[in-house]
Amino acid sequence: MEIILDRQLSKNEARKKAIQYSEEHQTGKSVVMAVAGATDSKIDYQAFEKGDGHMCTLFEEIAKESESKGRAEEIIDLGFEFGLSEDDILNRLQKKLDVPFQKAQEYLNMFKKQTI
């Protein structure tokens, strides 16, 4: 989890290190589920159960979700700081993160309490 959340590493570096760690330590499904839960990531666990080769995809999804949350928090903070309406912030979240309206609302609800 430390590897995936390390913001000093690029997404590719974090993914490679997480996969390498996972292979070296024969990471099981329960560990991946714990990491996904701790990073509040949505993961297709069925893909993991299908066998080898899916660990890469799982860690990519975790890293991507973590990166999106970080960017969403920044967009929301700056939006409120500059006096944008929630609708404007939602539009920016959708455009900048390429997420549907529902996901943008989730991010706004998640981070607006911290910024107000």
Whole-angstrom Cα distance, residue 113 to residue 105? 13
CB-CB neighbours of 59 under 10 Å: 26
Per the listing, tokens 């529902």 go with 102
pLDDT tens per residue across span 47-77: 555 544 455 566 666 667 777 888 899 999 9
Prediction pTM value: 0.52
- Give the domain extent around 26: 2-115
- In this prediction, residue 75 carries a pLDDT of 93
Domains in the chain: how many in total?
Answer: 1
CB-CB neighbours of 23 under 10 Å: 12
Whole-angstrom Cα distance, residue 73 to residue 92? 12
